[in-house]
């Protein structure tokens, strides 16, 4: 099954769409858990990108060394970059466990970077959509003398 899915151009968008769907359900049903998870994900994004990128390249170079021991380091680096860009033959990727692990890490890297980019681009739109669903809320700007009095009056109602 994995062999047939790994060559599909729809694999990464499908996983990304599934993650967005899970996040939307979690946000509606468990807002505290969603807030905690999203905060931890934001903290782990940069280290995850570094680890996935370095791990994918290292494992790919190692796996290509085992597959083609007579090729040079630059050739193996080029092939590792091709693996990261999903431009490698499916049979070559399944040759050994290092290349399979490198392809999984490259998928994780792609999902992390694409997810971060989508969040960066559409953050304001998602906030607007989230605010449209709120009912019965009042926003008091400033908690000085007037703001405190307005808040007391609202709480008395």
pTM: 0.55
| Main-chain dihedrals φ then ψ at residue 8, nearest 5 degrees | -75, 135
pLDDT score recorded for residue 8: 63
> Within the chain, which residues score under 50 in pLDDT?
1-5
pLDDT score recorded for residue 2: 46
Q: In angstroms, rounded to a whole number, what is the distance separating the alpha carbons of residues 152 and 157?
A: 9
Which residues does 156 contact at the CB level (< 8 Å), separation at least 6? none
pLDDT score recorded for residue 9: 67
Token pair recorded at residue 151: 């808040």
Q: Compute the half-sphere exposure of residue 102: CA atoms within 13 Å on the CB side of its CA.
A: 29
pLDDT score recorded for residue 28: 84
Q: In angstroms, how far is the first alpha carbon of the chain from the final one?
A: 61
Domain boundaries, the chain: 2-156
pLDDT score recorded for residue 84: 74
Torsion of Cα atoms, 104 then 18 then 23 then 16, to 10°: 50
- Per-residue pLDDT of 144-155, as tens digits, reads 888 888 888 888
Nearest to 13 by CA among 125, 114, 121: 114
pLDDT score recorded for residue 1: 42
Count of helix runs (H) and strand runs (E) in the chain = 7, 0
């Amino acid at each position: 099954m994995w062999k047939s899915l790994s060559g599909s151009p729809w694999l990464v968008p499908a996983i990304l769409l599934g993650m967005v769907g899970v996040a939307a359900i979690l946000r509606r049903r468990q807002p505290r858990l969603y807030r905690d998870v999203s905060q931890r994900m934001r903290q782990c994004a940069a280290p995850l990108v570094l680890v996935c990128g370095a791990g994918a390249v290292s494992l790919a170079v190692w796996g290509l060394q085992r597959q083609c021991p007579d090729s040079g380091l630059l050739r193996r680096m080029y092939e590792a970059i091709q693996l990261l860009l999903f431009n490698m033959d499916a049979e070559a990727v399944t040759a050994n466990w290092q290349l399979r692990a490198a392809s999984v890490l490259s998928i994780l890297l792609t999902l992390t970077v694409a997810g971060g980019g989508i969040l960066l681009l559409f953050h304001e739109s998602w906030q607007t959509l989230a605010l449209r669903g709120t009912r019965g809320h009042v926003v008091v700007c400033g908690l000085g003398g007037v703001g405190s009095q307005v808040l007391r009056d609202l709480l008395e109602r």
